[in-house]
Amino acid sequence: MRRAALVFALLAACPASAAEPVVFDPREVQAIQRHGPWPQPVLPDRSNRAWGNPAAIALGQKLFFDSRLSGDGTMACASCHVPARAWTDGRPRAHGREPLARNVPTVLDAGRGRWFGWDGGSDSAWSFSLRPILDARELASSPPRVAALLREDAAAACLHEAAFGAAASDEAAMVNAAKALGAFLATLASGRTAFDEFRDALAKRDAAGMARYPEAAKRGLRLFVGRGNCAVCHFGPDFTNGEFHDVGVPFFAAPGKVDGGRYDGVKRLMADPYNLLGRWNDDASGAAATKTRHLHSTQRDFGRFKTPSLRNVALTAPYMHNGSLATLADVVRHYSEIDTERIHSHGEQLLRPLGLTPGEIADLVAFLETLSAPDAMDVPALPPVVAGCRVAP
Ligand code: HEC
Ligand code: HEC
Protein backbone atom coordinates (compact mmCIF):
# COMPACT_ATOMS: atom_id res chain seq x y z
CA MET A 1 0.00 0.00 0.00
CA ARG A 2 2.66 2.45 1.12
CA ARG A 3 4.77 1.51 -1.89
CA ALA A 4 1.94 2.18 -4.34
CA ALA A 5 1.39 5.60 -2.81
CA LEU A 6 5.07 6.41 -3.24
CA VAL A 7 5.05 5.39 -6.92
CA PHE A 8 1.96 7.51 -7.43
CA ALA A 9 3.61 10.51 -5.79
CA LEU A 10 6.72 10.09 -7.98
CA LEU A 11 4.66 9.85 -11.15
CA ALA A 12 2.70 12.95 -10.22
CA ALA A 13 5.94 14.89 -9.67
CA CYS A 14 7.23 14.06 -13.17
CA PRO A 15 5.60 15.93 -16.05
CA ALA A 16 4.15 13.36 -18.44
CA SER A 17 6.08 14.79 -21.39
CA ALA A 18 9.40 14.14 -19.71
CA ALA A 19 8.55 10.50 -19.06
CA GLU A 20 7.02 9.45 -22.37
CA PRO A 21 9.33 8.94 -25.31
CA VAL A 22 8.45 11.10 -28.31
CA VAL A 23 6.92 9.28 -31.27
CA PHE A 24 6.40 11.50 -34.31
CA ASP A 25 3.21 11.20 -36.32
CA PRO A 26 3.39 10.98 -40.15
CA ARG A 27 2.82 14.72 -40.62
CA GLU A 28 5.62 15.53 -38.23
CA VAL A 29 7.92 13.01 -39.93
CA GLN A 30 7.23 14.74 -43.24
CA ALA A 31 7.91 18.18 -41.76
CA ILE A 32 11.18 16.95 -40.26
CA GLN A 33 12.30 15.41 -43.56
CA ARG A 34 12.07 18.85 -45.20
CA HIS A 35 15.08 19.97 -43.14
CA GLY A 36 17.40 17.70 -45.10
CA PRO A 37 19.18 15.96 -46.59
CA TRP A 38 22.49 17.46 -45.60
CA PRO A 39 24.98 18.31 -47.00
CA GLN A 40 23.36 20.12 -49.91
CA PRO A 41 25.23 21.08 -53.08
CA VAL A 42 26.47 24.65 -53.34
CA LEU A 43 25.26 26.02 -56.67
CA PRO A 44 27.85 27.75 -58.85
CA ASP A 45 27.74 31.55 -58.74
CA ARG A 46 27.72 32.41 -62.42
CA SER A 47 28.34 36.08 -61.72
CA ASN A 48 31.82 35.06 -60.58
CA ARG A 49 34.01 33.58 -63.32
CA ALA A 50 36.50 32.37 -60.69
CA TRP A 51 33.89 30.35 -58.78
CA GLY A 52 35.25 26.83 -58.21
CA ASN A 53 38.68 27.75 -59.57
CA PRO A 54 41.32 26.25 -57.21
CA ALA A 55 43.75 29.16 -57.67
CA ALA A 56 40.99 31.67 -56.84
CA ILE A 57 39.88 29.64 -53.81
CA ALA A 58 43.45 29.52 -52.48
CA LEU A 59 43.91 33.24 -53.14
CA GLY A 60 40.61 33.98 -51.39
CA GLN A 61 41.62 31.95 -48.37
CA LYS A 62 44.97 33.72 -48.12
CA LEU A 63 43.36 37.15 -48.46
CA PHE A 64 40.69 36.33 -45.87
CA PHE A 65 43.39 35.92 -43.21
CA ASP A 66 45.76 38.66 -44.47
CA SER A 67 45.66 41.96 -42.58
CA ARG A 68 47.64 43.61 -45.40
CA LEU A 69 44.29 43.71 -47.20
CA SER A 70 43.35 46.60 -44.88
CA GLY A 71 44.39 50.21 -45.33
CA ASP A 72 46.74 50.25 -42.36
CA GLY A 73 47.66 46.56 -42.24
CA THR A 74 45.94 45.85 -38.93
CA MET A 75 42.65 44.15 -39.78
CA ALA A 76 41.59 41.13 -41.81
CA CYS A 77 38.26 39.53 -42.60
CA ALA A 78 39.22 36.92 -40.00
CA SER A 79 39.49 39.63 -37.31
CA CYS A 80 35.69 39.60 -37.18
CA HIS A 81 34.95 36.22 -38.78
CA VAL A 82 37.11 34.18 -36.37
CA PRO A 83 37.12 30.46 -37.29
CA ALA A 84 37.45 29.40 -33.64
CA ARG A 85 34.17 31.25 -32.97
CA ALA A 86 32.41 29.53 -35.84
CA TRP A 87 33.46 32.47 -38.07
CA THR A 88 31.91 35.19 -35.87
CA ASP A 89 33.47 37.40 -33.18
CA GLY A 90 31.38 36.56 -30.13
CA ARG A 91 30.49 40.23 -29.55
CA PRO A 92 26.99 41.69 -29.61
CA ARG A 93 27.94 44.12 -32.40
CA ALA A 94 30.99 44.18 -34.62
CA HIS A 95 33.94 46.27 -33.68
CA GLY A 96 36.00 47.58 -36.58
CA ARG A 97 37.83 50.87 -36.45
CA GLU A 98 34.74 52.03 -34.62
CA PRO A 99 31.71 50.20 -33.26
CA LEU A 100 29.26 48.99 -35.91
CA ALA A 101 25.52 48.65 -35.46
CA ARG A 102 25.20 44.98 -36.38
CA ASN A 103 26.16 41.54 -35.14
CA VAL A 104 28.75 39.54 -37.12
CA PRO A 105 27.02 36.60 -38.82
CA THR A 106 28.90 33.41 -39.55
CA VAL A 107 30.14 32.96 -43.11
CA LEU A 108 29.66 29.19 -42.91
CA ASP A 109 27.30 28.06 -45.67
CA ALA A 110 27.12 31.68 -46.90
CA GLY A 111 27.74 30.31 -50.39
CA ARG A 112 24.17 29.00 -50.33
CA GLY A 113 22.64 32.43 -49.72
CA ARG A 114 20.75 34.59 -52.15
CA TRP A 115 21.13 37.96 -50.43
CA PHE A 116 24.05 38.92 -48.22
CA GLY A 117 24.10 40.93 -45.02
CA TRP A 118 21.29 41.18 -42.46
CA ASP A 119 19.51 43.58 -44.81
CA GLY A 120 20.40 41.71 -48.00
CA GLY A 121 22.24 44.81 -49.20
CA SER A 122 24.36 42.71 -51.61
CA ASP A 123 23.31 40.23 -54.27
CA SER A 124 26.51 38.14 -54.38
CA ALA A 125 29.13 36.94 -51.91
CA TRP A 126 31.87 38.69 -53.90
CA SER A 127 30.13 42.06 -54.10
CA PHE A 128 29.39 41.82 -50.39
CA SER A 129 33.11 41.26 -49.78
CA LEU A 130 33.91 44.65 -51.31
CA ARG A 131 31.92 46.37 -48.58
CA PRO A 132 34.22 45.57 -45.63
CA ILE A 133 37.26 46.11 -47.89
CA LEU A 134 36.20 49.67 -48.72
CA ASP A 135 34.27 50.65 -45.58
CA ALA A 136 36.23 53.23 -43.57
CA ARG A 137 34.97 51.59 -40.36
CA GLU A 138 36.27 48.15 -41.39
CA LEU A 139 39.30 47.36 -43.58
CA ALA A 140 39.39 50.95 -44.92
CA SER A 141 41.28 49.80 -47.99
CA SER A 142 41.29 51.05 -51.58
CA PRO A 143 41.73 49.72 -55.14
CA PRO A 144 45.43 50.75 -55.31
CA ARG A 145 46.12 49.16 -51.94
CA VAL A 146 44.50 45.82 -52.90
CA ALA A 147 46.13 45.88 -56.34
CA ALA A 148 49.54 46.46 -54.73
CA LEU A 149 49.08 43.44 -52.45
CA LEU A 150 48.18 41.29 -55.47
CA ARG A 151 51.37 42.48 -57.23
CA GLU A 152 53.81 42.44 -54.34
CA ASP A 153 53.04 39.21 -52.51
CA ALA A 154 54.60 36.44 -54.60
CA ALA A 155 51.97 33.78 -53.83
CA ALA A 156 49.07 36.21 -54.29
CA ALA A 157 50.51 37.49 -57.57
CA CYS A 158 50.96 33.97 -58.94
CA LEU A 159 47.48 32.82 -57.89
CA HIS A 160 45.89 36.02 -59.18
CA GLU A 161 47.54 35.60 -62.58
CA ALA A 162 46.55 31.90 -62.69
CA ALA A 163 42.90 32.58 -61.81
CA PHE A 164 42.24 35.87 -63.61
CA GLY A 165 45.13 36.73 -65.95
CA ALA A 166 46.42 40.32 -65.94
CA ALA A 167 44.13 42.94 -64.42
CA ALA A 168 43.34 45.97 -66.56
CA SER A 169 43.16 48.41 -63.64
CA ASP A 170 43.48 48.65 -59.88
CA GLU A 171 39.72 48.51 -59.64
CA ALA A 172 39.64 45.32 -61.73
CA ALA A 173 42.29 43.82 -59.45
CA MET A 174 40.22 44.68 -56.39
CA VAL A 175 37.11 43.10 -57.90
CA ASN A 176 39.20 40.00 -58.68
CA ALA A 177 40.27 39.88 -55.03
CA ALA A 178 36.60 40.02 -54.03
CA LYS A 179 35.75 37.24 -56.49
CA ALA A 180 38.56 35.15 -55.01
CA LEU A 181 37.06 35.77 -51.55
CA GLY A 182 33.66 34.76 -52.92
CA ALA A 183 35.14 31.55 -54.34
CA PHE A 184 36.72 30.79 -50.97
CA LEU A 185 33.51 31.52 -49.02
CA ALA A 186 31.64 29.04 -51.21
CA THR A 187 33.90 26.27 -49.86
CA LEU A 188 32.93 26.95 -46.23
CA ALA A 189 30.17 24.37 -46.09
CA SER A 190 29.36 22.98 -42.67
CA GLY A 191 29.11 19.25 -42.10
CA ARG A 192 26.53 16.88 -40.70
CA THR A 193 24.98 17.38 -37.29
CA ALA A 194 23.26 15.23 -34.67
CA PHE A 195 19.98 16.49 -36.12
CA ASP A 196 20.94 15.29 -39.64
CA GLU A 197 21.76 11.84 -38.25
CA PHE A 198 18.37 11.74 -36.53
CA ARG A 199 16.49 12.94 -39.60
CA ASP A 200 18.00 10.20 -41.73
CA ALA A 201 17.45 7.55 -39.04
CA LEU A 202 13.80 8.60 -38.87
CA ALA A 203 13.44 8.25 -42.64
CA LYS A 204 14.92 4.75 -42.53
CA ARG A 205 13.01 3.82 -39.35
CA ASP A 206 16.38 2.98 -37.85
CA ALA A 207 15.40 2.58 -34.18
CA ALA A 208 18.96 2.53 -32.85
CA GLY A 209 19.84 5.70 -34.76
CA MET A 210 16.68 7.42 -33.56
CA ALA A 211 17.36 6.44 -29.96
CA ARG A 212 20.72 8.22 -30.03
CA TYR A 213 18.98 11.61 -30.40
CA PRO A 214 18.18 13.14 -26.98
CA GLU A 215 14.52 13.08 -25.92
CA ALA A 216 14.63 16.78 -25.01
CA ALA A 217 15.79 17.61 -28.55
CA LYS A 218 12.93 15.52 -29.96
CA ARG A 219 10.43 17.46 -27.87
CA GLY A 220 12.02 20.71 -29.03
CA LEU A 221 11.93 19.56 -32.65
CA ARG A 222 8.23 18.78 -32.27
CA LEU A 223 7.63 22.37 -31.12
CA PHE A 224 9.88 23.71 -33.89
CA VAL A 225 7.94 22.09 -36.73
CA GLY A 226 4.60 22.31 -34.92
CA ARG A 227 3.11 24.75 -32.46
CA GLY A 228 6.14 27.07 -32.52
CA ASN A 229 5.72 27.83 -36.25
CA CYS A 230 9.50 28.23 -36.42
CA ALA A 231 9.94 26.12 -39.55
CA VAL A 232 7.77 28.47 -41.61
CA CYS A 233 10.64 30.96 -41.73
CA HIS A 234 13.53 28.74 -40.63
CA PHE A 235 12.70 26.51 -43.54
CA GLY A 236 14.37 23.62 -45.36
CA PRO A 237 17.85 22.12 -45.02
CA ASP A 238 19.34 25.58 -44.34
CA PHE A 239 16.73 26.48 -41.71
CA THR A 240 16.04 29.73 -43.56
CA ASN A 241 13.61 30.81 -46.26
CA GLY A 242 16.19 33.42 -47.33
CA GLU A 243 13.55 36.12 -46.87
CA PHE A 244 13.20 39.16 -44.63
CA HIS A 245 10.94 39.45 -41.60
CA ASP A 246 10.31 41.58 -38.57
CA VAL A 247 10.30 39.39 -35.49
CA GLY A 248 9.97 42.25 -33.03
CA VAL A 249 13.63 42.98 -32.37
CA PRO A 250 13.87 46.73 -31.72
CA PHE A 251 15.52 48.49 -34.63
CA PHE A 252 16.89 51.51 -32.82
CA ALA A 253 20.61 51.36 -33.59
CA ALA A 254 21.43 54.24 -31.24
CA PRO A 255 19.37 56.97 -29.62
CA GLY A 256 17.57 58.68 -32.52
CA LYS A 257 19.12 56.30 -35.08
CA VAL A 258 17.07 53.62 -36.71
CA ASP A 259 18.21 50.54 -38.65
CA GLY A 260 15.72 50.29 -41.50
CA GLY A 261 16.80 46.73 -42.31
CA ARG A 262 15.63 45.43 -45.68
CA TYR A 263 14.18 48.83 -46.63
CA ASP A 264 17.65 50.38 -46.52
CA GLY A 265 19.24 47.21 -47.89
CA VAL A 266 17.32 47.35 -51.17
CA LYS A 267 18.28 51.00 -51.62
CA ARG A 268 21.91 50.22 -50.88
CA LEU A 269 21.90 47.31 -53.29
CA MET A 270 20.43 49.42 -56.09
CA ALA A 271 23.06 52.12 -55.54
CA ASP A 272 25.95 49.61 -55.45
CA PRO A 273 28.17 49.88 -58.56
CA TYR A 274 29.18 46.25 -58.00
CA ASN A 275 25.67 44.79 -57.99
CA LEU A 276 24.70 42.17 -60.55
CA LEU A 277 23.14 44.78 -62.84
CA GLY A 278 26.56 46.37 -63.26
CA ARG A 279 29.48 45.64 -65.54
CA TRP A 280 31.37 43.41 -63.10
CA ASN A 281 28.84 40.58 -63.34
CA ASP A 282 30.54 37.79 -65.33
CA ASP A 283 27.30 36.05 -66.29
CA ALA A 284 26.76 36.92 -69.94
CA SER A 285 23.37 35.15 -69.99
CA GLY A 286 21.94 37.70 -67.55
CA ALA A 287 20.27 34.91 -65.55
CA ALA A 288 22.23 35.61 -62.36
CA ALA A 289 20.84 39.17 -62.25
CA THR A 290 17.17 38.15 -62.53
CA LYS A 291 16.46 38.34 -58.81
CA THR A 292 18.06 41.80 -58.61
CA ARG A 293 16.23 43.07 -61.69
CA HIS A 294 12.87 42.23 -60.10
CA LEU A 295 13.64 43.84 -56.81
CA HIS A 296 11.92 46.95 -55.54
CA SER A 297 11.78 48.57 -52.17
CA THR A 298 8.54 48.98 -50.30
CA GLN A 299 7.70 50.58 -46.99
CA ARG A 300 6.73 47.13 -45.74
CA ASP A 301 10.40 46.16 -45.77
CA PHE A 302 11.13 48.62 -43.01
CA GLY A 303 12.56 46.87 -39.95
CA ARG A 304 12.79 43.51 -41.64
CA PHE A 305 15.96 41.46 -41.44
CA LYS A 306 17.13 38.29 -43.13
CA THR A 307 16.04 35.02 -41.55
CA PRO A 308 19.38 33.58 -40.44
CA SER A 309 20.26 29.93 -40.95
CA LEU A 310 20.11 28.05 -37.68
CA ARG A 311 22.90 25.64 -38.57
CA ASN A 312 25.66 26.06 -35.95
CA VAL A 313 23.53 28.62 -34.13
CA ALA A 314 24.61 27.32 -30.69
CA LEU A 315 28.18 28.35 -31.61
CA THR A 316 27.41 31.93 -32.66
CA ALA A 317 26.05 33.79 -29.61
CA PRO A 318 24.96 36.53 -29.14
CA TYR A 319 21.93 36.69 -31.41
CA MET A 320 19.83 38.81 -33.74
CA HIS A 321 20.95 41.53 -36.17
CA ASN A 322 21.92 43.77 -33.29
CA GLY A 323 23.27 41.08 -30.95
CA SER A 324 20.66 42.09 -28.39
CA LEU A 325 19.88 38.58 -27.12
CA ALA A 326 22.72 36.84 -25.28
CA THR A 327 21.66 33.19 -25.29
CA LEU A 328 19.45 30.77 -27.20
CA ALA A 329 17.16 30.61 -24.17
CA ASP A 330 16.77 34.40 -24.45
CA VAL A 331 15.83 34.03 -28.13
CA VAL A 332 13.25 31.32 -27.43
CA ARG A 333 11.83 33.40 -24.55
CA HIS A 334 11.61 36.36 -26.95
CA TYR A 335 9.41 34.30 -29.29
CA SER A 336 7.45 32.89 -26.37
CA GLU A 337 6.58 36.34 -25.00
CA ILE A 338 6.65 38.25 -28.27
CA ASP A 339 5.06 41.66 -28.17
CA THR A 340 3.11 41.78 -31.43
CA GLU A 341 2.48 45.49 -30.93
CA ARG A 342 6.15 46.02 -31.58
CA ILE A 343 6.13 44.34 -34.97
CA HIS A 344 6.30 47.05 -37.53
CA SER A 345 5.59 45.29 -40.80
CA HIS A 346 2.34 43.79 -41.88
CA GLY A 347 2.02 40.17 -42.79
CA GLU A 348 3.87 38.70 -39.82
CA GLN A 349 0.70 37.22 -38.35
CA LEU A 350 2.66 34.00 -37.96
CA LEU A 351 4.10 35.43 -34.82
CA ARG A 352 2.07 35.36 -31.66
CA PRO A 353 3.13 34.78 -28.07
CA LEU A 354 3.65 31.04 -27.68
CA GLY A 355 3.42 31.00 -23.89
CA LEU A 356 5.99 28.23 -23.54
CA THR A 357 6.71 26.63 -20.18
CA PRO A 358 10.29 26.71 -18.85
CA GLY A 359 10.53 23.02 -19.80
CA GLU A 360 9.43 23.73 -23.37
CA ILE A 361 11.94 26.58 -23.64
CA ALA A 362 14.69 24.19 -22.51
CA ASP A 363 13.48 21.61 -25.06
CA LEU A 364 13.65 24.09 -27.95
CA VAL A 365 17.14 25.09 -26.87
CA ALA A 366 18.14 21.41 -26.66
CA PHE A 367 16.93 20.99 -30.24
CA LEU A 368 18.81 24.08 -31.49
CA GLU A 369 21.96 22.72 -29.85
CA THR A 370 21.81 19.65 -32.10
CA LEU A 371 22.31 21.81 -35.20
CA SER A 372 26.07 22.27 -34.64
CA ALA A 373 28.53 20.61 -37.00
CA PRO A 374 31.73 19.24 -35.44
CA ASP A 375 33.74 20.82 -38.29
CA ALA A 376 32.29 24.35 -37.90
CA MET A 377 35.61 25.74 -36.62
CA ASP A 378 37.85 23.99 -39.13
CA VAL A 379 39.90 26.03 -41.58
CA PRO A 380 40.30 24.19 -44.89
CA ALA A 381 43.85 22.89 -45.40
CA LEU A 382 45.73 24.78 -48.11
CA PRO A 383 47.84 22.53 -50.35
CA PRO A 384 51.47 23.70 -50.55
CA VAL A 385 51.26 24.25 -54.30
CA VAL A 386 48.17 25.32 -56.27
CA ALA A 387 48.13 25.89 -60.04
CA GLY A 388 51.92 25.89 -60.03
CA CYS A 389 52.04 28.59 -57.34
CA ARG A 390 53.85 28.03 -54.04
CA VAL A 391 51.11 28.83 -51.53
CA ALA A 392 52.52 27.82 -48.17
CA PRO A 393 55.27 30.14 -46.89
C1 HEC B 1 34.73 44.82 -38.49
C2 HEC B 1 34.24 43.46 -38.54
C3 HEC B 1 34.15 42.80 -39.91
C4 HEC B 1 35.15 42.61 -40.83
C5 HEC B 1 36.60 43.07 -40.74
C6 HEC B 1 34.57 41.83 -41.89
N7 HEC B 1 33.25 41.55 -41.63
FE8 HEC B 1 32.01 40.40 -42.76
N9 HEC B 1 30.46 40.96 -41.60
C10 HEC B 1 30.53 41.78 -40.51
C11 HEC B 1 29.20 42.22 -40.13
C12 HEC B 1 28.83 43.16 -38.98
C13 HEC B 1 28.32 41.62 -41.06
C14 HEC B 1 26.81 41.87 -41.16
C15 HEC B 1 26.74 43.11 -42.04
C16 HEC B 1 25.39 43.67 -42.33
O17 HEC B 1 24.38 43.03 -42.11
O18 HEC B 1 25.33 44.81 -42.81
C19 HEC B 1 29.14 40.82 -41.96
C20 HEC B 1 28.64 40.02 -42.98
C21 HEC B 1 29.40 39.31 -43.88
C22 HEC B 1 28.88 38.46 -44.91
C23 HEC B 1 27.41 38.14 -45.17
C24 HEC B 1 27.00 36.88 -44.51
C25 HEC B 1 25.53 36.59 -44.69
O26 HEC B 1 25.15 35.44 -44.51
O27 HEC B 1 24.75 37.49 -45.00
C28 HEC B 1 29.94 37.99 -45.64
C29 HEC B 1 29.90 37.07 -46.83
C30 HEC B 1 31.13 38.58 -45.05
N31 HEC B 1 30.76 39.36 -43.97
C32 HEC B 1 32.41 38.41 -45.53
C33 HEC B 1 33.48 39.20 -45.13
C34 HEC B 1 34.74 39.27 -45.84
C35 HEC B 1 35.10 38.50 -47.11
C36 HEC B 1 35.53 40.15 -45.15
C37 HEC B 1 36.92 40.64 -45.52
C38 HEC B 1 37.06 41.29 -46.81
C39 HEC B 1 34.76 40.60 -44.00
N40 HEC B 1 33.52 40.02 -44.03
C41 HEC B 1 35.25 41.45 -43.03
C42 HEC B 1 31.69 42.17 -39.85
C43 HEC B 1 32.95 42.16 -40.45
C1 HEC C 1 8.30 35.24 -39.30
C2 HEC C 1 9.51 34.46 -39.53
C3 HEC C 1 10.16 33.78 -38.35
C4 HEC C 1 9.60 32.89 -37.45
C5 HEC C 1 8.18 32.38 -37.41
C6 HEC C 1 10.66 32.51 -36.56
N7 HEC C 1 11.83 33.15 -36.88
FE8 HEC C 1 13.59 33.01 -35.88
N9 HEC C 1 14.33 34.56 -36.96
C10 HEC C 1 13.67 35.20 -38.01
C11 HEC C 1 14.38 36.41 -38.35
C12 HEC C 1 14.00 37.39 -39.44
C13 HEC C 1 15.47 36.50 -37.46
C14 HEC C 1 16.48 37.65 -37.37
C15 HEC C 1 15.74 38.82 -36.71
C16 HEC C 1 16.57 40.03 -36.40
O17 HEC C 1 17.78 39.93 -36.28
O18 HEC C 1 15.97 41.12 -36.26
C19 HEC C 1 15.42 35.30 -36.62
C20 HEC C 1 16.36 34.97 -35.66
C21 HEC C 1 16.37 33.77 -34.95
C22 HEC C 1 17.46 33.29 -34.13
C23 HEC C 1 18.81 33.99 -33.93
C24 HEC C 1 19.80 33.51 -34.96
C25 HEC C 1 21.06 34.34 -35.02
O26 HEC C 1 22.02 33.85 -35.63
O27 HEC C 1 21.11 35.46 -34.51
C28 HEC C 1 17.07 32.09 -33.60
C29 HEC C 1 17.88 31.18 -32.67
C30 HEC C 1 15.73 31.84 -34.05
N31 HEC C 1 15.33 32.89 -34.87
C32 HEC C 1 14.96 30.73 -33.72
C33 HEC C 1 13.59 30.67 -33.96
C34 HEC C 1 12.70 29.75 -33.30
C35 HEC C 1 13.10 28.71 -32.26
C36 HEC C 1 11.43 30.02 -33.76
C37 HEC C 1 10.12 29.41 -33.33
C38 HEC C 1 9.80 29.59 -31.92
C39 HEC C 1 11.57 31.09 -34.74
N40 HEC C 1 12.88 31.46 -34.82
C41 HEC C 1 10.52 31.61 -35.50
C42 HEC C 1 12.49 34.77 -38.59
C43 HEC C 1 11.56 33.94 -37.96
CB 81 less than 6 A from any atom of ligand 1: yes
Question: Would the pLDDT of 28 be above 70?
Answer: yes
The C-alpha atoms of residue 177 and residue 136 are separated, in whole angstroms, by: 18
Q: If pLDDT is split at 50, 70 and 90, which confidence band does 1 have?
A: very low
Give the residue among 244, 242, 245, 194 at the shortest CA–CA distance from 220: 194
The DSSP secondary-structure symbol of 261 reads: B
Neighbours of 16 (CB within 10 A): 8
Q: Which of 16-25, 233-242, 306-315 has the weakest average pLDDT?
A: 16-25
Ligand 1 pocket test, candidate residues 77, 190, 309, 313, most atoms within 8 A of CB: 77
Atom 13 of ligand 1 has which residue's CA nearest to it?
Answer: 104
Q: What is the pLDDT of residue 257?
A: 87
Q: Would you call 82 helix, strand, or coil by DSSP?
A: strand
Average confidence (pLDDT) over 138-157: 97
Atom 9 of ligand 2 has which residue's CA nearest to it?
Answer: 307
| pTM for the predicted model, two decimal places | 0.94
Give the residue among 128, 170, 160, 171 at the shortest CA–CA distance from 62: 160
Q: What is the mean pLDDT of the chain?
A: 93
The C-alpha atoms of residue 123 and residue 313 are separated, in whole angstroms, by: 23
Task: Read off φ and ψ for residue 244, nearest 5 degrees.
Answer: -115, 135
Cα(345) to centroid(ligand 1), Å? 26
- Residues sharing a CB contact under 8 Å with residue 132, sequence separation 6 or more, in sequence order: 77, 80, 96, 138, 139
Average confidence (pLDDT) over 118-143: 97
Residue 163's region, left for phi above 0, alpha for psi from -120 to 50, else beta, is alpha
Give the residue among 136, 100, 143, 137 at the shortest CA–CA distance from 119: 100
Cα(235) to centroid(ligand 1), Å? 23
CB 131 less than 6 A from any atom of ligand 1: no
CB 132 less than 6 A from any atom of ligand 1: yes
Ligand 2 pocket test, candidate residues 81, 118, 245, 354, most atoms within 8 A of CB: 245
pLDDT in tens, 188-224: 999 999 999 999 999 999 999 999 999 999 999 999 9
Q: What is the pLDDT of residue 245?
A: 94
Q: What are the structural domains of the chain?
A: 21-41+193-252+301-371 (1.10.760.10)
CB 115 less than 6 A from any atom of ligand 1: no
CB 117 less than 6 A from any atom of ligand 1: yes
CB 38 less than 6 A from any atom of ligand 1: no
Cα(360) to centroid(ligand 1), Å? 34
The DSSP secondary-structure symbol of 101 reads: S
Q: If pLDDT is split at 50, 70 and 90, which confidence band does 350 have?
A: confident
Q: If pLDDT is split at 50, 70 and 90, which confidence band does 254 have?
A: confident
Question: Would the pLDDT of 241 be above 50?
Answer: yes
Across 367-381, b (16+ Cβ under 10 Å) vs e yields: bbbbbbbeebbeeee
The C-alpha atoms of residue 140 and residue 7 are separated, in whole angstroms, by: 69
CB 104 less than 6 A from any atom of ligand 1: yes
Atom in ligand 2 nearest the alpha carbon of residue 244: 12
CB 118 less than 6 A from any atom of ligand 1: yes
CB 107 less than 6 A from any atom of ligand 1: yes
pLDDT in tens, 281-315: 999 998 999 999 999 888 889 999 999 999 999 99
Atom 28 of ligand 1 has which residue's CA nearest to it?
Answer: 107
Neighbours of 112 (CB within 10 A): 20
Cα(392) to centroid(ligand 1), Å? 26
